[in-house]
Structure 1
Amino acid sequence: MSVGGLAPETPTLVLAPSDRAPAHARRFLVEQFRALGVADDFVGRLVVTELVTNAYKHVGIGHIVVRIFPDERKHTVCVEVWDEGAGLPIVRPENHDATSGRGLPLIIELVQSWGVRPLYETGKVVWVRCVL
């Protein structure tokens, strides 16, 4: 039986904030998508890489937590990245001369929905729903 749409035990990956975190998160996502029977993991890999990279570059403290689980009611897979930072993601206007800030707008175009919710303690969860 599920609680709140989640399986009883949702696989979770806990990462230290480092430049190796995105690669670990990508491997975790590939494994979870495979276990869920999702053949095309391209968007998921892009999403988890961007969100984990943002967490370690812009927060840089505490752990980064990645969860991936199906939302069968919406026929999507939810990718969540938790961090301990108080700052919210910023979607910047397009700037062809910028050397950063392009990841979040790209993700928004590729996923069904996304958002941010605060954690009770400290930090936030950035989530996306990828279409199955």
Structure 2
Amino acid sequence: MTAGAFAPERPALVLEPTDQAPAKARRYLSERFRELGCDDDYVGRVVVTELVTNAYKHVGFGQIVVRVFPDKRDDLVVIEVGDEGVGTPVVRDEDHASTSGRGLLLVVQLVRDWGVRSLDGEGKVVWVRCGR
């Protein structure tokens, strides 16, 4: 997957799937939020951290592509994280005995809307729409 799988007018961050990827994605998101005039990037940083972490832990190969841009329909921001994995993320029920698996559940509770878009067998994009 390349950044070209995304709309070319949107700046993208291309990452290798390592434990450094979430920190780099947070810095990118904070810069983009500032450029967009967003006062608070806390939810965005939580969301991008979780989505990028899932991409490097559960896919572990290829590139991770992150984009942040304004939603043209309303006063929201879209965050997209693409990877080369073919599986679809699933929100799990909360399991109090488990030591992991709550990240996507937290994400969907923080954002207005979310979904997954297939890249024709070459990966997927997980997207969220969140407030500025």
**TM-score, normalised with respect to structure 2:** 0.92
Shift of 1:79: 0.2
Corresponding residue for residue 97 of structure 2: 97
One-letter identity of the residue aligned with 2:106: L
Deviation at 1:89, TM superposition (A): 0.4
2:86–2:121 Cα contact (<8 Å) kept: no
User: How far does residue 122 in structure 1 lie from its aligned partner after superposition?
Assistant: 0.7
Determine helix, strand or coil for the equivalent of 2:60.
Answer: coil
* Higher mean C-alpha displacement, 26-35 vs 117-126: 117-126
5+ long unaligned stretches in structure 1: 1-6
1:46 maps to which residue?
46
Q: How does 1:1-132 map to 2 (within 5 A)?
A: 9-132=9-132
- TM-score norm. by structure 1 comes to 0.92
Q: Distance in 1 between matches of 2:62 and 2:95?
A: 31
**SS state at 2:43 partner:** helix
Amino acid in the other structure paired with 2:59: V
The Cα of 1:8 is off from its aligned counterpart by: 6.6
Shift of 1:120: 2.6
Q: Give, in angstroms, the shift of residue 11 of structure 1.
A: 1.2
C-alpha offsets along residues 72-110 of structure 1, whole Å, 9 cap, x if unaligned? 312210000000001110111111111111110111011
Where 1:89 maps in the other structure, the secondary structure is: coil
When residues 84 and 107 of structure 1 are mapped into structure 2, their CA distance, relative to the original with a 3 A threshold, is same
Q: CA RMSD in A?
A: 1.5
Percent same amino acid at aligned positions? 66
Secondary structure in 2 aligned to 1:96? coil
Shift of 1:116: 0.1
The one-letter amino acid of 1:117's match is R
Provide the rounded CA distance (Å) in 1 between the counterparts of 2:89 and 2:74.
24
Mapped to 2, the partners of 1:33 and 1:46 lie a distance apart of 13
Gap regions ≥5 residues in structure 2: 1-6
Q: 1: CA distance between counterparts of 2:121 and 2:35?
A: 31
SS in 2 for 1:80: strand
Where in structure 1 do 4 or more consecutive aligned residues deviate above 4 Å?
A: none
